[in-house]
Amino acid sequence: MSRAAVPGLPSRHPIGEQLPALYADDDFAQRFTAGLDTVLAPVFSVLDNLPAYFDPRLAPADFLPWLATWVGGIDDPRWPLELRREAVARAVELHRRRGTRRGLTEALRLILGVSAEVSGDGAATWSRTPGTDLPAAPAQEVLIRVWPLHDGGPAHAVDADRVHALIRTLCPVHTVCRVEVLPGPPEGEKR
């Protein structure tokens, strides 16, 4: 449903009824104000339902892309409407975890519908004691292994190009990420 004029939408506040008594029986004044009511009825409807516009699970579908820009969410018009709504609703939560293992796996699950395992830390090292040698250097890359979700239904194929594109937008720029697409969960992994 769009916010355009809805045919036959009545105004909750007809202007003709608010005119002085002198114009109550004036045909031209009543027809003129009825035309204004037709124009203003969608505005009153939007204002009466304004809180629903800020809830991505209730907002009109054509309002979702704009709402996604407010929270820095990802909105792809090719996705099913329910997935688009969920991605916008969880955008703030995903931003809070952005650049972390958990954030990456949750984003891959939500946006692409794949399971993921992230190993490596992108060569972050530290020491608790000042002036001592740093610990041994960790691996310089982050390994991200993805496989299709199995939710009781048939497995779907993983689109490697979409996985790579999403990982490029979510991984910190200083990390080197390597992606492996697996046909199913790795050994020992729960389904």
DSSP output for the chain: --SSPPTTPPPSS-SGGGS-GGGTT-HHHHHHHHHHHHHHHHHHHHHHTHHHHTSTTTS-GGGHHHHHHHHT----TTS-HHHHHHHHHTHHHHHHTTTSHHHHHHHIIIII-EEEEEE--SS----SSTTSPPPPP--SEEEEEEEE--SSS------HHHHHHHHHHHS-TT-EEEEEE-SSPPTT---
| Other Cβ atoms closer than 10 A to 85 | 21
User: What average pLDDT does the segment 38-64 reach?
Assistant: 89
* pTM of the entire predicted model: 0.63
User: What average pLDDT does the segment 152-163 reach?
Assistant: 70
pLDDT band at residue 15, thresholds of 50, 70 and 90? very high
User: What average pLDDT does the segment 118-146 reach?
Assistant: 75
Question: Does residue 1 register a pLDDT over 60?
Answer: no
Q: Where do the structural domains in the chain lie, given as residue ranges?
A: 16-48, 102-127+138-185
pLDDT band at residue 137, thresholds of 50, 70 and 90? low
User: What average pLDDT does the segment 71-88 reach?
Assistant: 86
Question: How do residues 61-72 score in pLDDT, each as one tens digit?
Answer: 888 999 999 988
The percent of residues above 90 in pLDDT, for the chain, comes to 20
Question: Does residue 25 register a pLDDT over 50?
Answer: yes
User: What average pLDDT does the segment 24-30 reach?
Assistant: 92
Question: Does residue 121 register a pLDDT over 60?
Answer: yes
Domain 102-127+138-185 CATH (choose: 3.30.1420, 1.10.3470, 3.10.450, 3.30.300): 3.30.300
Calculate the average pLDDT of the chain.
Answer: 83
